[in-house]
Structure 1
Amino acid sequence: MADATVRRAEHRDVPEIARIQRDTWRTAYAGLLPEEVLTGFDLAEAEQGWADAVGHGPARVWVALEGRWTVGFCAAGPAPESEVADASGALPADAASTGLVSALLVEPRWGRRGHGGRLLATAAADLRERGLTRGIAWVPEADTASLSFYASAGWHPDGTVRTLDAAGRPLREVRVSGGVDLHLRE
Protein backbone atom coordinates (compact mmCIF):
# COMPACT_ATOMS: atom_id res chain seq x y z
CA MET A 1 0.00 0.00 0.00
CA ALA A 2 1.15 3.53 -0.74
CA ASP A 3 1.85 5.96 2.09
CA ALA A 4 -1.34 6.32 4.15
CA THR A 5 -1.77 9.40 6.33
CA VAL A 6 -4.35 11.57 8.05
CA ARG A 7 -4.09 15.33 8.33
CA ARG A 8 -6.27 18.27 9.25
CA ALA A 9 -8.44 19.34 6.32
CA GLU A 10 -7.66 22.60 4.55
CA HIS A 11 -9.86 24.75 2.37
CA ARG A 12 -8.34 23.14 -0.76
CA ASP A 13 -9.73 19.76 0.41
CA VAL A 14 -13.37 20.91 0.44
CA PRO A 15 -14.27 19.88 -3.15
CA GLU A 16 -12.90 16.36 -2.57
CA ILE A 17 -14.68 16.05 0.79
CA ALA A 18 -18.01 16.94 -0.85
CA ARG A 19 -17.36 14.60 -3.78
CA ILE A 20 -16.45 11.74 -1.44
CA GLN A 21 -19.65 12.35 0.53
CA ARG A 22 -21.77 12.29 -2.63
CA ASP A 23 -20.07 9.27 -4.16
CA THR A 24 -20.00 7.28 -0.93
CA TRP A 25 -23.65 7.97 -0.20
CA ARG A 26 -24.57 6.87 -3.72
CA THR A 27 -22.62 3.64 -3.33
CA ALA A 28 -22.83 2.66 0.34
CA TYR A 29 -26.28 4.09 1.12
CA ALA A 30 -28.08 3.14 -2.11
CA GLY A 31 -30.30 0.73 -0.21
CA LEU A 32 -30.71 2.97 2.85
CA LEU A 33 -31.63 6.35 1.40
CA PRO A 34 -34.36 7.07 -1.14
CA GLU A 35 -33.18 7.51 -4.73
CA GLU A 36 -34.35 11.14 -4.76
CA VAL A 37 -32.04 11.95 -1.84
CA LEU A 38 -29.08 10.38 -3.62
CA THR A 39 -29.75 11.93 -7.03
CA GLY A 40 -30.72 15.26 -5.49
CA PHE A 41 -27.43 15.64 -3.64
CA ASP A 42 -26.37 19.25 -4.24
CA LEU A 43 -22.59 19.23 -4.60
CA ALA A 44 -22.29 23.04 -4.42
CA GLU A 45 -24.38 23.14 -1.24
CA ALA A 46 -22.28 20.36 0.29
CA GLU A 47 -19.08 22.22 -0.60
CA GLN A 48 -20.38 25.35 1.13
CA GLY A 49 -21.25 23.36 4.24
CA TRP A 50 -17.84 21.69 4.33
CA ALA A 51 -16.08 25.02 3.69
CA ASP A 52 -17.85 26.40 6.76
CA ALA A 53 -16.93 23.33 8.82
CA VAL A 54 -13.27 23.36 7.75
CA GLY A 55 -12.94 27.09 8.30
CA HIS A 56 -15.02 27.71 11.39
CA GLY A 57 -15.65 24.48 13.34
CA PRO A 58 -16.46 23.76 16.15
CA ALA A 59 -15.89 20.28 14.72
CA ARG A 60 -12.49 19.67 13.24
CA VAL A 61 -12.33 17.98 9.88
CA TRP A 62 -9.66 15.42 9.00
CA VAL A 63 -8.82 13.85 5.65
CA ALA A 64 -7.32 10.44 4.94
CA LEU A 65 -4.82 10.21 2.13
CA GLU A 66 -3.29 7.30 0.31
CA GLY A 67 -0.35 8.65 -1.56
CA ARG A 68 -1.65 11.77 -3.29
CA TRP A 69 -5.30 10.65 -3.24
CA THR A 70 -7.86 11.92 -0.72
CA VAL A 71 -9.80 8.79 0.18
CA GLY A 72 -11.95 9.72 3.18
CA PHE A 73 -12.75 12.26 5.85
CA CYS A 74 -13.99 12.63 9.40
CA ALA A 75 -15.54 15.51 11.34
CA ALA A 76 -15.52 15.49 15.14
CA GLY A 77 -15.88 17.97 17.97
CA PRO A 78 -17.72 18.64 21.20
CA ALA A 79 -21.19 17.09 21.14
CA PRO A 80 -24.16 19.43 21.35
CA GLU A 81 -26.48 18.64 24.27
CA SER A 82 -29.22 17.62 21.82
CA GLU A 83 -26.97 14.82 20.49
CA VAL A 84 -25.97 13.54 23.95
CA ALA A 85 -29.40 13.57 25.59
CA ASP A 86 -31.38 10.38 25.95
CA ALA A 87 -34.80 9.90 24.39
CA SER A 88 -36.48 11.79 27.25
CA GLY A 89 -34.10 14.74 26.87
CA ALA A 90 -32.13 13.97 30.03
CA LEU A 91 -28.39 14.63 29.89
CA PRO A 92 -25.87 12.08 31.19
CA ALA A 93 -23.38 13.15 33.85
CA ASP A 94 -20.59 13.26 31.25
CA ALA A 95 -22.47 15.39 28.68
CA ALA A 96 -19.90 18.21 28.84
CA SER A 97 -17.04 15.80 28.15
CA THR A 98 -18.62 13.97 25.21
CA GLY A 99 -17.52 14.41 21.61
CA LEU A 100 -19.50 13.79 18.44
CA VAL A 101 -18.17 12.15 15.30
CA SER A 102 -20.63 13.80 12.95
CA ALA A 103 -19.21 12.25 9.78
CA LEU A 104 -16.76 9.49 8.95
CA LEU A 105 -16.70 8.31 5.35
CA VAL A 106 -14.16 6.40 3.29
CA GLU A 107 -14.83 5.90 -0.38
CA PRO A 108 -15.79 2.23 -0.80
CA ARG A 109 -13.09 1.63 -3.42
CA TRP A 110 -10.51 2.58 -0.76
CA GLY A 111 -12.16 0.55 1.99
CA ARG A 112 -10.61 -2.14 4.15
CA ARG A 113 -7.19 -0.46 4.03
CA GLY A 114 -7.24 1.06 7.53
CA HIS A 115 -8.29 4.57 6.53
CA GLY A 116 -11.42 4.59 8.71
CA GLY A 117 -9.44 3.43 11.72
CA ARG A 118 -6.79 6.07 11.17
CA LEU A 119 -9.46 8.76 10.84
CA LEU A 120 -11.29 7.66 14.00
CA ALA A 121 -8.05 7.33 16.01
CA THR A 122 -6.92 10.80 14.90
CA ALA A 123 -10.29 12.34 15.73
CA ALA A 124 -10.31 10.54 19.11
CA ALA A 125 -6.82 11.86 19.93
CA ASP A 126 -8.01 15.38 19.12
CA LEU A 127 -11.10 14.92 21.31
CA ARG A 128 -8.84 13.73 24.17
CA GLU A 129 -6.60 16.79 23.72
CA ARG A 130 -9.72 18.94 24.00
CA GLY A 131 -10.54 17.35 27.36
CA LEU A 132 -13.29 15.02 26.15
CA THR A 133 -13.50 11.46 27.47
CA ARG A 134 -16.27 9.80 25.47
CA GLY A 135 -17.38 9.85 21.87
CA ILE A 136 -20.69 9.24 20.12
CA ALA A 137 -21.76 8.81 16.51
CA TRP A 138 -25.10 8.19 14.80
CA VAL A 139 -25.26 5.27 12.37
CA PRO A 140 -28.17 4.08 10.22
CA GLU A 141 -29.48 0.97 11.94
CA ALA A 142 -29.28 -1.01 8.68
CA ASP A 143 -25.63 0.01 8.06
CA THR A 144 -24.08 -3.15 9.44
CA ALA A 145 -20.65 -2.34 7.99
CA SER A 146 -20.39 0.93 9.93
CA LEU A 147 -21.80 -0.65 13.10
CA SER A 148 -19.15 -3.39 12.84
CA PHE A 149 -16.44 -0.80 12.24
CA TYR A 150 -17.39 1.16 15.36
CA ALA A 151 -17.72 -2.06 17.39
CA SER A 152 -14.14 -2.97 16.42
CA ALA A 153 -13.10 0.33 18.05
CA GLY A 154 -15.09 -0.46 21.20
CA TRP A 155 -18.03 1.82 20.34
CA HIS A 156 -21.39 0.10 20.75
CA PRO A 157 -25.07 1.07 20.58
CA ASP A 158 -26.04 2.77 23.83
CA GLY A 159 -29.79 2.21 23.51
CA THR A 160 -30.66 5.62 22.05
CA VAL A 161 -32.30 5.71 18.63
CA ARG A 162 -33.74 8.43 16.43
CA THR A 163 -35.74 8.49 13.25
CA LEU A 164 -34.92 11.01 10.55
CA ASP A 165 -37.08 12.03 7.61
CA ALA A 166 -35.27 10.97 4.44
CA ALA A 167 -37.44 12.49 1.71
CA GLY A 168 -40.60 11.22 3.36
CA ARG A 169 -39.15 7.84 4.28
CA PRO A 170 -38.07 7.15 7.87
CA LEU A 171 -34.38 6.48 8.44
CA ARG A 172 -33.74 4.92 11.84
CA GLU A 173 -30.33 5.62 13.39
CA VAL A 174 -28.71 4.16 16.48
CA ARG A 175 -26.24 6.05 18.61
CA VAL A 176 -22.93 4.31 19.28
CA SER A 177 -20.74 5.35 22.15
CA GLY A 178 -17.25 4.59 23.37
CA GLY A 179 -14.06 5.89 24.88
CA VAL A 180 -11.71 8.23 23.05
CA ASP A 181 -8.58 6.44 24.22
CA LEU A 182 -8.12 4.76 20.85
CA HIS A 183 -4.80 3.79 19.41
CA LEU A 184 -3.89 2.16 16.13
CA ARG A 185 -2.30 -1.26 16.24
CA GLU A 186 1.04 -1.26 14.45
Structure 2
Amino acid sequence: MAPQHDHSHDPQHSHSPGPLADASVRVARETDAPAVGLVQAVVWREAYAAVLPEEVLATFEPQAFASVWRQSLASPPQGVYRLLAACAGDQVVGFASIGPSQDPDASPETGELSALGVHPDARRVGHGSRLLNAVVDTLRGAGATRMHTWVLASDEATRGFLLAGGLGPDGAFRDRVISPDGDTAREVRLVADLDTPAP
Protein backbone atom coordinates (compact mmCIF):
# COMPACT_ATOMS: atom_id res chain seq x y z
CA MET A 1 0.00 0.00 0.00
CA ALA A 2 1.43 3.37 -0.99
CA PRO A 3 1.92 6.01 1.72
CA GLN A 4 -0.76 8.68 1.80
CA HIS A 5 0.16 12.27 1.02
CA ASP A 6 -3.30 13.75 1.35
CA HIS A 7 -3.10 17.24 2.84
CA SER A 8 -6.84 17.67 3.29
CA HIS A 9 -8.36 18.21 6.73
CA ASP A 10 -8.69 14.62 7.84
CA PRO A 11 -10.21 14.82 11.34
CA GLN A 12 -8.56 11.55 12.30
CA HIS A 13 -5.09 13.10 11.88
CA SER A 14 -5.76 16.73 12.79
CA HIS A 15 -4.67 16.21 16.42
CA SER A 16 -1.27 14.81 15.42
CA PRO A 17 1.51 16.65 17.31
CA GLY A 18 3.84 16.58 14.30
CA PRO A 19 7.47 15.56 14.11
CA LEU A 20 8.90 18.37 16.27
CA ALA A 21 6.69 17.99 19.33
CA ASP A 22 9.14 15.58 20.94
CA ALA A 23 12.49 16.93 19.76
CA SER A 24 15.01 16.82 22.59
CA VAL A 25 18.66 16.53 23.60
CA ARG A 26 19.85 14.11 26.25
CA VAL A 27 23.00 12.42 27.45
CA ALA A 28 23.69 9.46 25.16
CA ARG A 29 23.44 5.89 26.40
CA GLU A 30 25.42 2.83 25.31
CA THR A 31 22.42 1.67 23.30
CA ASP A 32 22.63 4.89 21.25
CA ALA A 33 26.05 3.98 19.85
CA PRO A 34 24.76 2.41 16.57
CA ALA A 35 22.55 5.42 15.81
CA VAL A 36 25.32 7.91 16.65
CA GLY A 37 27.73 5.88 14.50
CA LEU A 38 25.33 6.05 11.57
CA VAL A 39 24.86 9.82 11.89
CA GLN A 40 28.62 10.37 12.24
CA ALA A 41 29.43 8.27 9.16
CA VAL A 42 26.94 10.19 7.01
CA VAL A 43 28.02 13.61 8.33
CA TRP A 44 31.77 12.88 8.10
CA ARG A 45 31.48 11.54 4.54
CA GLU A 46 29.68 14.72 3.56
CA ALA A 47 32.10 17.05 5.38
CA TYR A 48 35.25 15.36 4.09
CA ALA A 49 34.03 14.65 0.53
CA ALA A 50 36.01 17.59 -0.88
CA VAL A 51 39.27 16.75 0.91
CA LEU A 52 39.53 12.95 1.11
CA PRO A 53 39.87 10.35 -1.64
CA GLU A 54 36.94 8.00 -2.15
CA GLU A 55 38.80 4.99 -0.68
CA VAL A 56 39.33 6.86 2.59
CA LEU A 57 35.71 8.08 2.70
CA ALA A 58 34.62 4.45 2.30
CA THR A 59 36.28 3.64 5.64
CA PHE A 60 33.86 5.94 7.46
CA GLU A 61 31.65 3.03 8.46
CA PRO A 62 28.79 3.34 10.95
CA GLN A 63 29.86 0.14 12.74
CA ALA A 64 33.41 1.40 13.28
CA PHE A 65 32.21 4.71 14.74
CA ALA A 66 29.59 2.89 16.84
CA SER A 67 32.22 0.58 18.29
CA VAL A 68 34.33 3.52 19.46
CA TRP A 69 31.31 5.27 21.00
CA ARG A 70 30.15 2.06 22.69
CA GLN A 71 33.56 1.58 24.33
CA SER A 72 33.72 5.24 25.36
CA LEU A 73 30.23 5.15 26.88
CA ALA A 74 30.88 1.84 28.67
CA SER A 75 34.15 3.10 30.20
CA PRO A 76 34.14 6.90 30.09
CA PRO A 77 37.51 8.64 30.38
CA GLN A 78 38.33 10.67 33.49
CA GLY A 79 37.01 14.23 33.46
CA VAL A 80 33.98 15.93 32.01
CA TYR A 81 33.48 13.96 28.81
CA ARG A 82 29.93 13.73 27.49
CA LEU A 83 28.21 12.47 24.39
CA LEU A 84 24.91 14.26 23.81
CA ALA A 85 22.20 12.92 21.51
CA ALA A 86 19.62 14.97 19.63
CA CYS A 87 16.40 13.02 19.26
CA ALA A 88 13.26 13.23 17.18
CA GLY A 89 10.98 11.08 19.30
CA ASP A 90 13.04 7.99 20.07
CA GLN A 91 15.25 8.36 16.99
CA VAL A 92 18.76 9.76 17.41
CA VAL A 93 19.28 12.29 14.60
CA GLY A 94 22.33 14.19 15.84
CA PHE A 95 25.13 14.18 18.39
CA ALA A 96 27.72 16.34 20.08
CA SER A 97 30.84 15.25 21.92
CA ILE A 98 32.48 17.42 24.56
CA GLY A 99 35.38 17.27 26.99
CA PRO A 100 38.30 19.27 28.32
CA SER A 101 40.22 21.14 25.62
CA GLN A 102 43.33 19.32 24.42
CA ASP A 103 44.86 22.50 22.97
CA PRO A 104 48.27 23.27 24.50
CA ASP A 105 47.37 26.94 24.97
CA ALA A 106 44.04 26.20 26.71
CA SER A 107 43.41 26.96 30.36
CA PRO A 108 42.05 24.20 32.63
CA GLU A 109 38.66 25.95 32.43
CA THR A 110 38.44 25.52 28.64
CA GLY A 111 36.02 22.94 27.31
CA GLU A 112 36.07 21.53 23.80
CA LEU A 113 33.32 20.65 21.39
CA SER A 114 35.13 17.79 19.67
CA ALA A 115 32.35 16.66 17.33
CA LEU A 116 28.94 17.89 16.24
CA GLY A 117 26.69 16.47 13.57
CA VAL A 118 23.05 16.30 12.53
CA HIS A 119 21.83 13.84 9.91
CA PRO A 120 21.11 15.66 6.61
CA ASP A 121 17.47 14.47 6.67
CA ALA A 122 16.95 16.13 10.08
CA ARG A 123 18.56 19.52 9.50
CA ARG A 124 17.02 22.99 9.64
CA VAL A 125 14.47 22.11 12.30
CA GLY A 126 16.47 23.11 15.39
CA HIS A 127 18.40 19.96 16.35
CA GLY A 128 21.79 21.62 15.84
CA SER A 129 20.82 24.67 17.89
CA ARG A 130 19.46 22.48 20.70
CA LEU A 131 22.70 20.50 20.69
CA LEU A 132 24.86 23.63 20.78
CA ASN A 133 22.80 25.08 23.66
CA ALA A 134 23.13 21.79 25.58
CA VAL A 135 26.90 21.80 24.95
CA VAL A 136 27.23 25.31 26.38
CA ASP A 137 25.00 24.50 29.38
CA THR A 138 26.90 21.27 30.11
CA LEU A 139 30.31 22.90 29.86
CA ARG A 140 29.20 25.85 32.01
CA GLY A 141 27.80 23.42 34.57
CA ALA A 142 31.20 21.70 34.70
CA GLY A 143 32.92 25.03 35.42
CA ALA A 144 34.19 25.86 31.92
CA THR A 145 34.55 29.56 31.15
CA ARG A 146 35.66 29.14 27.53
CA MET A 147 34.95 26.76 24.66
CA HIS A 148 37.11 25.72 21.71
CA THR A 149 36.19 23.73 18.63
CA TRP A 150 38.03 22.88 15.42
CA VAL A 151 36.27 22.84 12.06
CA LEU A 152 37.44 22.04 8.56
CA ALA A 153 38.25 25.28 6.77
CA SER A 154 36.40 23.89 3.74
CA ASP A 155 33.25 23.02 5.73
CA GLU A 156 31.39 26.28 5.14
CA ALA A 157 28.06 24.96 6.44
CA THR A 158 29.33 23.88 9.86
CA ARG A 159 31.51 26.95 10.24
CA GLY A 160 28.59 29.21 9.34
CA PHE A 161 26.33 27.45 11.82
CA LEU A 162 28.87 27.81 14.63
CA LEU A 163 29.55 31.47 13.81
CA ALA A 164 25.80 32.15 13.92
CA GLY A 165 25.74 30.32 17.27
CA GLY A 166 28.14 32.79 18.84
CA LEU A 167 31.57 31.26 18.25
CA GLY A 168 34.28 33.16 16.42
CA PRO A 169 37.73 32.50 14.94
CA ASP A 170 40.73 33.33 17.10
CA GLY A 171 43.28 33.00 14.29
CA ALA A 172 44.53 29.53 15.27
CA PHE A 173 44.70 26.83 12.61
CA ARG A 174 46.24 23.41 12.14
CA ASP A 175 46.92 21.13 9.21
CA ARG A 176 45.80 17.60 9.98
CA VAL A 177 47.21 14.61 8.12
CA ILE A 178 44.24 12.87 6.51
CA SER A 179 45.71 10.17 4.28
CA PRO A 180 48.50 7.59 4.25
CA ASP A 181 50.18 9.70 1.54
CA GLY A 182 50.52 12.63 3.94
CA ASP A 183 47.76 14.81 2.45
CA THR A 184 46.56 17.45 4.89
CA ALA A 185 43.36 19.35 5.53
CA ARG A 186 43.31 22.72 7.24
CA GLU A 187 41.21 23.19 10.34
CA VAL A 188 40.45 26.54 11.97
CA ARG A 189 39.66 27.08 15.63
CA LEU A 190 36.47 28.78 16.77
CA VAL A 191 36.09 29.94 20.36
CA ALA A 192 33.49 31.42 22.70
CA ASP A 193 33.54 32.83 26.21
CA LEU A 194 31.08 31.01 28.45
CA ASP A 195 31.36 33.11 31.58
CA THR A 196 28.91 35.70 30.25
CA PRO A 197 25.39 34.29 30.07
CA ALA A 198 23.71 34.65 26.70
CA PRO A 199 21.02 37.37 26.51
- TM-score (norm: length of structure 1): 0.86
What aligned pairs does 1:38-57 form with structure 2 within 5 A after superposition? 38-55=57-74, 56-57=76-77
Equivalent in 122, 136, 145 of residue 133 of structure 1: 145
> Could you say if the C-alpha distance between residues 51 and 182 of structure 1 is closer, same or farther in structure 2, counting changes exceeding 3 Å?
farther
Report the count of equivalent residues: 174
> Which structure's relative contact order is higher, taking Cα pairs within 8 Å and 6+ residues apart?
1
Once superposed, what is the RMSD of the aligned Cα atoms?
Answer: 1.8
* Structure 1 counterpart SS, 2:108: helix
What aligned pairs does 1:62-141 form with structure 2 within 5 A after superposition? 62-80=84-102, 83=103, 85=104, 91=105, 95-141=107-153
Per the alignment, residue 15 of structure 2 pairs with none
Contact 1:140 1:171 in 2 (8 A): yes
* Structure 1 counterpart SS, 2:71: helix
Per the alignment, residue 42 of structure 2 pairs with 23
Q: Distance in 2 between matches of 1:62 and 1:118?
A: 10
Per the alignment, residue 167 of structure 2 pairs with 155
What aligned pairs does 1:167-186 form with structure 2 within 5 A after superposition? 167=179, 168=181, 169-180=183-194
- The structure with the largest alpha-carbon Rg is 2
* Matched residue type, 1:147: R
Q: Distance in 1 between matches of 2:98 and 2:109?
A: 13
* Matched residue type, 1:62: L
Q: Which runs of 5+ in 1 are unaligned?
A: 86-90
* Structure 2 counterpart SS, 1:96: coil
Q: Distance in 2 between matches of 1:174 and 1:38?
A: 21
> Could you say if the C-alpha distance between residues 172 and 64 of structure 1 is closer, same or farther in structure 2, counting changes exceeding 3 Å?
same
CA shift for structure 1 position 166: 1.2
Q: Distance in 1 between matches of 2:52 and 2:23?
A: 30
Q: Distance in 2 between matches of 1:63 and 1:43?
A: 16
* Structure 2 counterpart SS, 1:132: coil
Greater per-residue helix proportion: 1
Q: Percent identity between the aligned chains?
A: 36
- TM-score (norm: length of structure 2): 0.81
Q: Deviations over 1:99-156 (max 9, x none)?
A: 0000000011111111111111101111101100110110000111111111111101
CA shift for structure 1 position 164: 0.8
> Could you say if the C-alpha distance between residues 14 and 21 of structure 1 is closer, same or farther in structure 2, counting changes exceeding 3 Å?
same
